[in-house]
Amino acid sequence: MNNPKLPAHMRCIEFSDPGGPEKLVLRERPLPDLGSGEVLIAVHAAGVNRPDIIQRMGNYPPPPGASDLLGLEVSGTIIAVADGITTLAVGDTVCALISGGGYAQYVTAPAVTCLPIPSTLTMIEAAAIPETFFTVWHNVFERGALKAGEVFLVHGGSSGIGTAAIQLAKSFGSTVVATAGNDQKCEACQSLGADLVINYKNYDFAEEIRTKIPDKGVDVILDMVGRPYMSRNIRCLKTDGRLVNIAFLEGSKAEIDFMPIMLKRLILTGSTLRLRDPSFKEAIAEALKSHVWPLIEDNLIRPVVDSIFPLERAADAH
């Protein structure tokens, strides 16, 4: 990329080998090259997500062709566009889903995964949208096919995924159940609209659902815990229920009984977005723009930002 108005180098966060947060260091490197169908963004803010932590620990390598830098979502201002792009222009402010590279002053992003900053949000708030909202929309409403009037359970309700899932499911007419690990987190889930919040450290969520949900079950579950929750998730699901796994923080292998899956006609599925091509993510971006952006503009949904750190304190953010 040859543009005399742009600096030759940028500040970014790197880690030379896997490990703890102390491995994250501030360094300089050349700006990323602008590829076909991409825009170059001057980053205002980048979201911190669990995949960043897992990658830092050496357990989630970036896909082929992706930046080796952490950061899957950003907000900022477009400062260059590839030839042929007519939907975006230099000076546009956007939030973007990327496959890596967000922990830097500049990052390239596919034009099709950039979305306009809602007028009701700050640039910092907008940076907390792409990774979580893309993930929730695809997994809950597309793979999980959650419909109005159904009961939805999300584990890790106070996480970035959880806070987005609670708000979206509630906004589209579902009864929402969430699990969280302490009273403060449970209160946060309730404040976002969850109808029932279960402290999983004090109660068996499957038993709580059986006794407190009128139909004694849920229609869709979004889970990122994995192994220890599998049998209880299956027990919680109603006939024709759907279990969607997007991570396995406590193990990817579990022993399951296929009998209830067959008898209740359950669907067990899952997905990861990072490996999918831009055209697949483009469809999700368009769905968000059509169905979710109006809710954000009306202040009915808002991303939750817990803490803010300057780039050089990325280790503290982790």
Q: Are residues 124 and 138 in the same domain?
A: no
Q: Are residues 196 and 261 in the same domain?
A: yes
Convert the pLDDT of each residue in 166-224 to its tens digit: 999 999 999 999 999 999 999 999 999 999 999 999 999 999 999 999 888 999 999 99
Burial status of residue 130 (CB atoms within 10 A of its CB: 0-12, 13-18, 19 or more) = buried
Is residue 291 in some structural domain?
Answer: no
Q: Are residues 122 and 90 in the same domain?
A: yes
Is residue 1 in some structural domain?
Answer: no
Q: Which residues contact 71 (CB under 8 A, 6 or more apart)?
A: 46, 47, 52, 98, 100, 101, 102, 103, 104, 107
Lowest mean pLDDT among 39-43, 248-252, 287-291, 303-307: 248-252
The separation between the first and the last C-alpha atoms of the chain, rounded to the nearest angstrom, is: 32
Residue 85, pLDDT score: 96
Q: What is the mean pLDDT of residues 53-80?
A: 96
Residue 116, pLDDT score: 98
Is residue 226 in some structural domain?
Answer: yes
Mean pLDDT, all residues of the chain = 96
Q: Are residues 21 and 106 in the same domain?
A: yes
Phi, psi of 281 (to 5 degrees): -70, -30
The pTM of the full predicted model, rounded to 2 decimals, is 0.94
Is residue 45 in some structural domain?
Answer: yes
Kindly list the distances between the CA atom of residue 268 and the CA atoms of 3, 174, 265, in Å, as whole numbers in the listed order: 49, 20, 10
Convert the pLDDT of each residue in 90-126 to its tens digit: 999 999 999 999 999 999 999 999 999 999 999 999 9
Is residue 31 in some structural domain?
Answer: yes
Q: List the 38-46 sheet strands across, edge first.
A: 106-110, 38-46, 73-81, 93-97, 114-116
Residue 2, pLDDT score: 46
Q: Which domain holds residue 224?
A: 132-270
CA separation for the pair 297, 103 (Å, rounded): 27
Residue 3, pLDDT score: 56
Q: What is the mean pLDDT of residues 40-63?
A: 96
Q: What is the mean pLDDT of residues 39-59?
A: 96
Number of domains within the chain: 2
Q: Are residues 150 and 94 in the same domain?
A: no
CATH of the domain at 260: 3.40.50.720
Residue 215, pLDDT score: 84
CATH of the domain at 46: 3.90.180.10
> Residue 223: beta bridge partners?
245
Residue 4, pLDDT score: 52
